[in-house]
Amino acid sequence: MKLTVLGSGTSIPHPRRASPGFWLETGNHKVLLDIGPDIPHRMAEEHLDWPDIDAIWVSHFHLDHFGGLPPFLFSMRWAPQVANRTKPLRLVGPHGLQDLLQTINDGNNYRLFNQRFSVDVTEIKPDEQFELVPGLLAQTIKTPHTKESLALRLTHSDGKRFVYTSDTGFTEELGVFGKQADMLLMECSFRSNKPLQTHLELTDAMGLAKECDPGKLVLTHLYPEWDAFDLVAESSKLWQGEVIEAKDGLVVMI
Ligand SMILES: [Zn+2]
Ligand SMILES: [Zn+2]
């Protein structure tokens, strides 16, 4: 699998960190994990094959993770690049995804679901197992962030394991859920003295890294306060494994 970081930031405008979004290629399939408001144009900027995308995972409904979805569906109604597309587009996320999209759609009759191809919405519960795309088995757990927020664990048919926490507060359950992932993509919103219990700071994140012991740890969802610090150097004091700072445009193999 190949992961491209489209947005390593948060909801706060930042010159080098777009809102969250990660492009995952699995051989035959292309999946987007979260779709912040910047992401439709970021996919184009990275020359990714967005017209052929198979599925979009929405971890929760905060607008920095979901806000690009209505504009992306709106754009696909008009984009010449999808004029001949017949493949369905799969939207997968927590319970409430269909209603939320429908409400936005109906607010101005955007006709987001009237595409040249079908748009299939699948709502997932915590602790559910499903196939995200063929060959990619998914599991979820509830995270302490919003009432619907989910972490995602993907197992490729080649055996590789990838875990994406998305936004979360600290919970020991993530230490089990993320165990021995080949790559753990984890939020590390704050350095210290986090203002919100519904996010992680560095000691939380590295405590979870110790439990999970991933092949590679990628830290993301970095608030602007991180600009003043060396994330990898600070992480290395707390855990000896391979830590990678997410940066927009970074490509990592899993
Ligand atoms: Zn967020
Ligand atoms: Zn959030």
Per-residue pLDDT of the chain (254 residues; tens, 9 = 90+): 999 999 999 999 999 999 999 999 998 999 999 999 999 999 999 999 999 999 999 999 999 999 999 999 999 999 999 999 999 999 999 999 999 999 999 999 999 999 999 999 999 999 999 999 999 999 999 999 999 999 999 999 999 999 999 999 999 999 999 999 999 999 999 999 999 999 999 999 999 999 999 999 999 999 999 999 999 999 999 999 999 999 999 999 99
Nearest ligand, CA 62: 2
For ion ligand 2, residues whose CB falls within 5 Å: 62, 167
Q: Which ligand is nearest to the CA of 196?
A: 2
- The side-by-side arrangement of strands in the sheet containing 55-57 is 119-124, 89-94, 55-57, 30-35, 21-25, 2-7, 251-253
**Token pair of 197, please?**
């219990």
Q: How far, in Å, is the centroid of ligand 2 from the Cα of 129?
A: 23
Instruction: Give distance in angstroms: CA of 221 to centre of ligand 1.
Output: 6
Overall pTM > 0.85: yes
Inter-residue contact 22 to 250 (CB < 8 Å): no
Cα of 84 to ligand 1 centre, how many Å?
34
- Structure token digits, residue 224: 């602007």
How far apart are alpha carbons 92 and 98 in whole angstroms? 9
The per-residue DSSP string of 123-161 comes to EE-TT-EEEEETTEEEEEEE-SSSSS-EEEEEEETTS-E
Give 219's contacts (C-beta < 8 A, 6+ positions apart).
186, 187, 188, 205, 231, 235, 243, 244, 245, 246
Quote the ligand 2 centre to 139 CA distance (angstroms).
Answer: 19
Cα 167 to middle of ligand 2, angstroms: 5
